[in-house]
Amino acid sequence: MDQYHLHIVPETSIGIDEVRSLQNFLSKKPSGGKKNIVILHDAHLLTLPAQQAILKTLEEPPGDSQIYLVTSQPDSLLPTILSRCQIISPQHTTYMSNATYMSYIEKLLSSSSAGERLEILDSANFDRRSALDFLNQFELYLHSQVILRAAKDPEKIYNLISQARIYLKSNCSLRLILNYLATQFTHL
């Protein structure tokens, strides 16, 4: 089956104009058994109005079309968008190639007190970017553990990571976020 592709690659954000171009592209029927495919790269850069504008299209994609939202940060998307998508995780994760992050993850999961966890996180000397990278690696680790069914309540840990990531992106104090992360492990 032949296909027509539209790639949307944002420079800074994805606004309503890009969503309208996506909708316009999908409204044109390809001929002779062909289908339209839209690949929206860095979907986490969709503005809130753009996310709201794309909801109906995701709910009822026209004809034989496919829409791919590619993102490394699905928690940045509205829950209503995520509920309309089939989530496909990458086959190969890279968390094991980063032994340093893996070491911190193992220490955090085996520590017994909030003070100990905060000490572990402090020793990492994270900046905002490396803290986000750490959270991404932690999330990948949890995904692998869910697959192996070896994690102790991975959903709560995943929610904790998602909250910490949201706080990091909203420019909260890095120290307070790490403190939050360390103390919330007590409640798991």
pLDDT of 94 above 50:
no
Across 23-32, 78-87, 152-161, 168-177, least confident range: 152-161
> What is the 3 state secondary structure string of the chain?
CCEEEEEECCCCCECHHHHHHHHHHHHCCCCCCCEEEEEECCHHHECHHHHHHHHHHHHCCCCCCEEEECCCCHHHCCHHHHHCCCCCCCCCCCHHHCHHHHHHHHHHHHCCCHHHHHHHHHHCCCCHHHHHHHHHHHHHHHHHHHHHCCCCCHHHHHHHHHHHHHHHHCCCCHHHHHHHHHHHHHHC
pLDDT of 14 above 60:
yes
pLDDT of 96 above 50:
no
Across 2-11, 85-94, 105-114, least confident range: 85-94
pLDDT of 11 above 90:
no
pLDDT category of residue 91 using cuts at 50, 70 and 90? very low
Please name the fold of domain 3-83: Rossmann fold (3.40.50)
